[in-house]
Every structure is written in structure tokens, then in C-alpha cells.
């Protein structure tokens, strides 16, 4: 199996998880705006990286499944769930990015969003399934 699809999927998961972890740290700082500190300025970068990783996530999973020689039919329904959750999380991220100033409270609310949490849970599940199935 070529590792291209596997690497792409892993990079996307890493970007999403790193962003979420950064968001947790940012939320705990109580900053009124992203314009007041270096950490604040980084929040937009993480939001954009996370959003980019969400774009085409379902296709990336199906490419990994295909390259692993697994039956795509078994994955399609759950990939549709992931795509929906990725679109919903992306919509929330884009809304946050539209703000002129992003404070810690907004990021805390984004972290608590069911859309982002559902997506993370979906990714943990499918990642573990793919690791098991591709062995």
C-alpha cells in the first residue's frame, strides 16, 4: 500500500488535534482578543489549519481505505457522518474567523461545540478502525 493516503489522513488528524489542544490552552488564558498577545495571534493560524484539514476529509479517508485494499462500502455511511460533522465544524470555525477580535471565551465556546466534539470522536473511532483493519 502506498503511504500517500495514509500520510494525508494522519496529517489531517494531527492538524485537527493540534488545533483543538491549542484552543484548550487559549481558552484558559482569559484573553479578550487575539490582537493582544503572540498566543492570540496564533489562534487564527490554528483555526485556518484546522479548517483546511476539514476540507476534503471524507475523500481522504476513502482514499486511505482504497489504498489499504479495504471494502469502501463498509465505510461510506460513516464517512458521510464525518463529512457532515466536518462541514458543521468548518461552519463554526469560519464564523469565529469572521470576528475582528477572537477572545478566549469564543474559543472556549467553540471547543464546547457539539460539532467539533462529534468530529473529534468520529476521527478517533475511524482512525482506530483503520489502524486495526489495515494490519
Residues 110-134: tens digit of each pLDDT: 999 999 999 999 999 999 999 898 7
Number of domains the chain contains: 1
Q: From CA 134, how far away is CA 65, in angstroms rounded?
A: 8
Q: What is the CATH number of the domain that holds 85?
A: 1.20.120
pLDDT of residue 32: 86
Residues 32-74: tens digit of each pLDDT: 888 877 888 899 999 999 999 999 999 999 999 999 999 999 9
Q: Is the pLDDT of residue 135 over 80?
A: no
Percentage of the chain beyond pLDDT 90 is: 85
Can you tell me the mean pLDDT for 90-100? 97
Q: From CA 68, how far away is CA 52, in angstroms rounded?
A: 24
- The chain-wide mean pLDDT, for the chain, equals 93
Q: How confident is the model at residue 1 (pLDDT cuts 50, 70, 90)?
A: very low
Q: Which long-range contacts (CB under 8 A, 24 or more apart) does 114-122 make?
A: 115/85, 115/88, 115/89, 115/91, 116/20, 116/89, 116/92, 118/85, 118/88, 118/89, 119/16, 119/54, 119/82, 119/85, 119/86, 119/88, 119/89, 120/16, 120/17, 120/20, 122/78, 122/81, 122/82, 122/85
Q: Is the pLDDT of residue 14 over 80?
A: yes
Give the residue numbers spanning the domain of 68: 4-133
Short-list 18, 21, 15, 6, CA closest to 54: 15
pTM of the full predicted structure? 0.91
Amino acid at each position: 500500500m502506498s503511504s500517500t493516503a495514509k500520510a494525508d489522513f494522519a496529517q489531517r488528524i494531527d492538524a485537527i488535534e493540534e488545533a483543538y489542544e491549542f484552543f484548550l490552552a487559549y481558552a484558559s488564558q482569559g484573553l479578550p482578543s487575539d490582537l493582544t498577545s503572540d498566543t492570540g495571534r496564533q489562534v487564527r493560524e490554528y483555526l485556518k489549519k484546522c479548517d483546511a484539514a476539514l476540507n476534503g476529509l471524507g475523500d481522504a479517508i476513502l482514499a486511505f481505505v482504497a489504498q489499504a485494499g479495504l471494502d469502501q462500502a463498509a465505510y461510506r455511511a460513516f464517512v458521510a457522518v464525518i463529512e457532515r460533522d466536518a462541514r458543521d465544524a468548518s461552519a463554526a470555525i469560519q464564523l469565529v474567523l469572521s470576528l475582528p477580535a477572537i477572545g478566549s471565551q469564543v474559543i472556549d465556546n467553540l471547543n464546547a461545540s457539539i460539532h467539533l466534539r462529534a468530529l473529534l470522536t468520529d476521527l478517533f473511532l475511524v482512525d482506530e478502525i483503520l489502524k486495526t483493519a489495515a494490519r
